[in-house]
Amino acid sequence: MNKQKMYIKPEAIFNYLKGEDKLHTLITTQSTQVDLVTTDQNLYEAMGSVENRSEIDLNLLVKFLEVVKIMPHIDLVKEERKVLTPERVEEIRALIK
């Protein structure tokens, strides 16, 4: 049986880590129907975009790391990881407002 893959973007990770997103249900129920996948770059961008790091729920982060398959950015996208710039941070924050 082939499972469906759901690719998780930085803005969804950002919302999840702050406890504000429907992604929470998918992660906490560990669906047998869907493989959740993201890249190390996406996780880096999401965490780096949280203005007040004390808002990150570490329990949610641990659960995320347990359930979501984190692929190397270079393997999935075929390009090197990028440094998170202030412009990219603003872009991610704008996507969640």
**What's the predicted TM-score (pTM) here?**
0.87
In which order are the strands placed within the sheet that holds 34-39? Answer: 4-7, 34-39, 69-71
Domain definitions of the chain by residue range:
4-96
- Comparing CA positions, the residue from 47, 52, 51 lying closest to residue 17 is 47
Q: What mean pLDDT do residues 57-70 have?
A: 94
pLDDT averaged over every residue in the chain: 90
Q: What mean pLDDT do residues 84-94 have?
A: 94
* Whether the predicted pLDDT of 76 surpasses 90: no
CB contact at 8 A, 64 and 15: no
For residue 97, what pLDDT is reported? 66
* Whether the predicted pLDDT of 74 surpasses 90: yes
